A and B are shown apart, each in its own frame.
Chain A
Amino acid sequence: MIRKELVAASAEPLILSLLAKGESYGYAIIQEVKARSGGKLQWTDGMLYPVLHRMERRGLVKSRWGESETGRKRKYYSLKKDGKAAMTRHQEQWSLVHSVLSGLQKEQYV
């Protein structure tokens, strides 16, 4: 299981990257993160919403109420321009961390 500090730090970049593919809603975001991480990235579901609301207040995402194909009410979130810029920044930073770690890992096996 991934440490909760890392889960918390990765929440915003993951949400932004998922929303970059198109608008989505809380439940679907959680399910997709679970599926993509093979269940290793476990959020307490309710914790997603404070993050989404904070991102909305900061102007990174916007929301609208809509209905699913079965008529169920849903709150859909989508990326705003500032959200795209924030996502690029996050991706650059995470790539840097990843490349440093990979480099160090390779050196250990040389």
Chain B
Amino acid sequence: MFDLESAIADWRRQMLAAGITTPVPLEELELHLREEIERQIQTGATEQNAFEMAAKQVGQPTRLKAEFRKAGGFLDWLGEDRAGRTHRALALLWLAYCSSIFFSLAAQLAVFPSSISIGQGVSLVNVGLVLVWLILVVCLRGMVASVRFFGGNLKEARTLRLLAILGLIAFIAQVTAFKNVSVLAIVYTLFNLISLWLLHSSKKAKPLFE
């Protein structure tokens, strides 16, 4: 004997097993299923037929899960297309990268101008204050470029590429001059290399704001 409620409970279990979460969106899907069952019954279908047709109409759990995943999640605010999301995430990382150097240098310049360091074991007392100001300007330009790139100005990919190359040159200069490689310098260098690679295809990204 067909039991509609236990069939619906089975259907819910299948949805949960496929990764459809409760209460959202499972509750909404179940309400839809129940409305369709009711409509089918009103047109003369048996409870079993009505359930089977309604479940088919709602869709396969795995396909539904895939659609919900495609519809986005925590990265949705970065845009709809994958290339755009990648580049906007990269723009945010560049913003963090440039602003961390900018604010750390600016703070040191303001508070301890005599003991300023660029954080890779290199004291800037040896390198000169002109270079500090130059780095600050470059970082500021990097921050502006990141924000504009995030907003869809793909021309700024060129600026970020240039900054990545500058970062690589600075790394090579540091290794050559000071024979000193910090973990942070290696992380920055890897980031520069990955950026160069990812920014290469920036034209594929759709702008976030049209």
B71: Cβ under 8 A from any A Cβ: yes
B5: Cβ under 8 A from any A Cβ: no
- Choose the segment among B57-65, B92-100, B132-140, B177-185 that binds chain A (4+ C-beta atoms closer than 8 Å): B57-65
Q: A72-B31, A75-B28 are in contact. Are A46 and B58 (CB under 8 A)?
A: yes
Cβ B71 vs Cβ A54 within 8 A = yes
Q: Inter-chain contact count A-B, CB under 8 Å?
A: 59
Q: A53-B71, A54-B72, A57-B72 are in contact. Are A44 and B59 (CB under 8 A)?
A: yes
Q: A53-B25, A54-B76, A57-B72 are in contact. Are A47 and B32 (CB under 8 A)?
A: no
Contacts of B72 in A (CB 8 A): 54, 57
Interface size on A, residues (CB 8 A): 18
Cβ B31 vs Cβ A75 within 8 A = yes
Cβ A27 vs Cβ B32 within 8 A = yes
| Secondary structure class of chain A's binding surface, majority of residues | helix
Interface residues of B (CB under 8 A from A): 24-25, 27-29, 31-32, 34-36, 57-59, 63-64, 67-68, 70-72, 76-77
Interface residues of A (CB under 8 A from B): 26-27, 30, 44-47, 49-51, 53-54, 57-58, 72-75
